[in-house]
Amino acid sequence: MFPDILTRCSTKIRQELLSVSWGAHSITALYLSLLSGVIVSLQYNPGTAYYSANSLDAVVPFGAFWRSLHFFSSQVFFLFSVIHFIVLIAQGKHRKINRSNWYLLTSSFAVLLLILFTGYVLRGDATGSFAGIIAENIILSVPILGKWINYFLFSIAESGLTRVFSNHMVGLCLIWLFMSWNHIRHYSISLYRSAEFSLLLVLFCMFVQAPMEPEKLGVFKVNGPWFFLGLQEMLKYIPPFWAGVFFPGSLIVALLYMNRGGVIERISRYYVFGWLSVYLCLSLIILL
């Protein structure tokens, strides 16, 4: 009897998860992220990143709210996009997407992560500064092209956060929009269609402040963004190229083959599941 109850509960939960409009909610969060991002950028100076971000909370009227809305709506957009992606695969709809669009859509997650990551770097606090240093070292470990990739993406040592700010606001966003447009245009909705979700997110940001971690003397261990923790832990054991380029890149390659069907798709599914399990374990280890 107990196994039957568990089976019915798991089936019910699965049906509820599959019925939620994750794609529509993620687009709503994107709208809120873009709106709040523009407002925050008007008060932000990449030359004095930490002071500028702190001033939003302490001096600018409603600055703390807009920074929180930008931070949390961006996180929600990413998380809901990932769930939407998983639901597409669970429902088998990913096989209906032609290969060229599937390749672009899958690769767009790497760009989306970079957009989210550069947002952390732009805070200029302990987390952002530490993450920026690690990111530059990982990119510079790429043979031949590493120096050029770093020049276009970060170049923090030479340009400060000016290039990071430009890529976060314009460059990476345009690349992501190009790669995902054929898919997201089907989910582009007006905010009023997700009014309850929008209101809930706005109310949450009114009472919960976005994190800001000042540098502390004598503290030598700083954890990066939550999605960066597994990679940060892996860097303790293997060289930067294998931990920061090859390992994440292998996940993207496995996802690219996810809609091939047959044995290839099954192998890709097993690899993705194994990859996520390893990464989750590494992330938990660094938090202990």
Domain at 195, CATH number: 1.20.810.10
pLDDT per residue as tens, the chain (288 positions) = 444 443 454 454 455 455 567 888 888 899 999 999 999 999 899 989 999 988 888 888 899 999 999 999 999 999 999 998 888 888 888 888 888 899 999 999 999 999 999 999 999 988 888 889 899 999 999 999 999 999 999 988 888 899 999 999 999 999 999 999 888 877 666 556 677 888 999 999 999 999 988 876 555 677 888 999 999 999 999 999 999 999 999 999 999 998 887 899 999 999 999 999 999 999 999 887
The answer to whether residue 276 is domain-embedded is: yes
State how far Cα 164 lies from the chain centre: 16
Find the domain containing 103 and state its range: 19-224
Q: Report pTM.
A: 0.89
In a shared domain, residues 59 and 191 = yes
In a shared domain, residues 200 and 147 = yes
DSSP string of 155-223, one letter each residue: -HHHHTTHHHHHIIIIIHHHHHHHHHHHHHTTT---GGGGHHHHHHHHHHHHHSPPP-----TT-----
Q: How many domains does the chain have?
A: 2
In a shared domain, residues 140 and 270 = no
- Alpha helix segments (H runs only) across the chain: 2-19, 22-41, 49-58, 63-90, 99-122, 126-140, 146-153, 156-159, 162-166, 172-184, 195-207, 229-234, 240-241, 247-256, 262-287
In a shared domain, residues 56 and 174 = yes
Q: Residue 11 has what pLDDT?
A: 54
**Paired tokens of 86:** 């998983």
Q: Residue 7 has what pLDDT?
A: 47
